[in-house]
Amino acid sequence: MTSIRKRSWTAPDGSEKSGWQVDYVDSAGQRRRKQFARKKEAESWITTAAYQVQQGTHTPDSQSITIAKAADLWIKRGEREKLEASTLAAYDQHVRLHIAPLCGDRKLSQVTRPMVEGWRDTWLEKLSRPMATRVLRSLSAIVSEAQSRGYVAQNVVAGVKVRRAKREKPRVAIPTKAELQAILKAASASTEPMAHPLALMAIFAGLRASELRGLPWRCIDFSAATVAVDQRADLKNVIGPPKSEAGYRTIPLPPSAVAALKIWKLACPPSNDELVFPSIAKRVMSHRYMNLTIMRAVQIAAGVCDPMVKDGKPALDQDEQPVMVQRYSLHDFRHAAASLWIEQRVSPKRVQAWMGHSSIQVTFDTYGHLFDQADQDGAVALAIERELAPTRHLDDART
């Protein structure tokens, strides 16, 4: 049963106050009340609340918590589950810089879909579209966590999306074959002995940077010509399990990579974790050193680089020479490996397995255009064969 009645009282300062009080019974049979300044607001609220009670999706304000509190519970759960340090840092940034300042004091029971759509629009105005999407996704995860704890009956954020046109979908940066050849040649001539095996593993095995940094020698099978992935190094250089269950995998290696690894193993300094690519201190190599020191030097030597631009002008070093920056990151070589496999007609499921993707959808979302191109190339080859086949048969008949 629900009712709305006017209520008057005397405030502590002696002034007379009045408001409209809603009395109702929640889904658990508990009597609840909520007060509004205007009758119209009370009537509007009770219409929605009555429907939510009937559907079992109503949460009284007294049993709910703020978005800021829910975010804290969500972050702490991630810490207990030992999520990667970089992931937790990103989540903390979403909450601290974007969610808490905008809506952190709002109780979950008071959040409506129109509110969330307004917050989404605010983030789209202030942030890049990808960042706005990630922040909105974090907010949905926060509410979902609170829902599982009984602080809110439904997740109204789940239905709010950041729409992206197909033309806005970014294409991955993939080095050309000529660039890859130049990089491998420069790496083989580098004074850094691990540069060549590192470049080969990055290009032909498609390992993540964290997997290269945490790769132990026991995972290299020289006789089978494979590399197995069963651990990785996080942002803080701590060795741990792969990113997901799909991260556990075995990838074939070409003879050139096997040969280079055999030579490097003889010169590789021992480390506590028996790493293939240890740091100078014989520990886990930092991502920055591997990417910006070793692979940057290789790319510049190979001519796969571009001048650094600062304030619209080429940056110069102390000798007034242009400062060059590498064209590709370690992750771009991962894309190169996928493109080479796809070009060789490796099936999508096998590409998914070798890349360590959690689902085939991730593989298609990232490399779908390459599979399309491979299919088109195959169709062209078949068409050419059909055109030449009659001529070949005539030639055979004459002989």
How far out from the chain centre does Cα 368 lie? 18
Q: Using pLDDT thresholds of 50, 70 and 90, give the confidence band for residue 189.
A: very high
**Global pTM exceeds 0.85:** no
Inter-residue contact 151 to 59 (CB < 8 Å): yes
What pLDDT shows up at residue 167?
Answer: 53
Q: What is the DSSP letter of 294?
A: I
Token digits of residue 8 = 């008057």
Judging by beta carbons within 10 Å of its beta carbon (0-12, 13-18, 19+), is residue 218 exposed, middle or buried? exposed
Closest residue by Cα to residue 377 from 345, 346, 340: 345
- Helix ranges (H only) for 216-308 are 255-267, 287-288, 296-302
d(CA 399, CA 298): 55
| Predicted confidence (pLDDT) per residue in 121-152, tens digit | 999 999 988 899 999 999 999 999 988 887 88
d(CA 140, CA 287): 31
| Predicted confidence (pLDDT) per residue in 253-307, tens digit | 999 999 999 999 999 999 989 999 999 999 999 999 999 899 999 999 999 999 9
- What sign does the dihedral 353-355-358-363 (CA atoms) show? negative
Domains detected in the chain: 3-58 (no CATH), 67-168 (1.10.150.130), 177-348 (1.10.443.10)
Strands 309-310 and 226-229, bridge-based pairing: unpaired
How far out from the chain centre does Cα 106 lie? 28
In percent, the amount of the chain with pLDDT more than 70 equals 82
